[in-house]
């Protein structure tokens, strides 16, 4: 059992156990945020940093959107389904954009490959949860 699952299931306002899709999405958001932050930092240390400006920007944007999405998904009191759906959709878009950019550099930079994979996992998890909540 993950910390995310334990926290959600221990919430006094929870009527039912947290869905696996919710737990997976929260964990994927925070993993992706960490990967994006680390990838941007690694890009800044590359000799070809000028070629990675777009990658750094998409890394930062994606990380920020993922943190916000993970935080809102973690809140079980008085959640707003419209806001949740909008954040999930934004996260899917941010992750797709970042993954596309990182994958274009993956052959030259391992950190971009790793980040791209984390983005794809988050994109998939958020899309699945978005479908579940309708």
Question: Residue 5: inside a domain, yes or no?
Answer: no
Nearest to 19 by CA among 108, 118, 128, 123: 128
pLDDT band for 15, please (50, 70, 90 cuts): low
Residue 55 maps to which CATH number? Answer: 1.20.1270.360
What is the pTM assigned to this prediction? Answer: 0.95
Does a structural domain hold residue 69?
Answer: yes
**Is there a domain that residue 7 lies in?**
no
**Do you know the residue count of the chain?**
134
Total count of domains within the chain: 1
d(CA 25, CA 78): 19
**Structural domain for 48, as ranges:** 16-133
How large a percentage of the chain has pLDDT more than 90? 82
Q: In this structure, what token pair is assigned to residue 127?
A: 């899309």
| Per-residue pLDDT reduced to its tens digit, 86-105 | 999 999 999 999 999 999 99
Confirm whether 10 is domain-assigned: no
Average pLDDT for residues 7-36, to the nearest whole number? 89
The confidence band for 46, taking pLDDT boundaries of 50, 70 and 90, is very high
The SS3 of residue 75 is coil
Query: Could you tell me if 102 and 59 are in contact, meaning their C-beta atoms sit under 8 angstroms apart?
Result: yes
Spatial distance between the Cα atoms of 2 and 54, rounded to a whole number of angstroms: 34
Asked if residue 17 has pLDDT above 80, the reply is: no
Cα dihedral sign for 51, 54, 55, 60? positive
Residue 87 counted as domain residue:
yes
């Amino acid at each position: 059992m993950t910390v995310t699952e334990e926290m959600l299931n221990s919430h006094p306002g929870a009527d039912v156990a947290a869905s696996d899709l919710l737990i997976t999405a929260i964990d994927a958001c925070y993993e992706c945020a960490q990967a994006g932050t680390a990838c941007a930092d690694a890009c800044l240390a590359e000799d070809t940093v000028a070629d990675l400006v777009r990658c750094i920007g998409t890394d930062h944007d994606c990380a920020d959107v993922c943190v916000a999405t993970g935080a809102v998904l973690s809140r079980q009191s008085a959640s707003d389904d419209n806001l949740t759906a909008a954040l999930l959709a934004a996260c899917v878009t941010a992750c797709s954009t970042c993954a596309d950019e990182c994958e274009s550099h993956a052959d030259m930079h391992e950190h971009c490959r790793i980040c791209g994979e984390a983005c794809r996992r988050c994109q998939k998890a958020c899309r699945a949860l978005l479908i579940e909540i309708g």
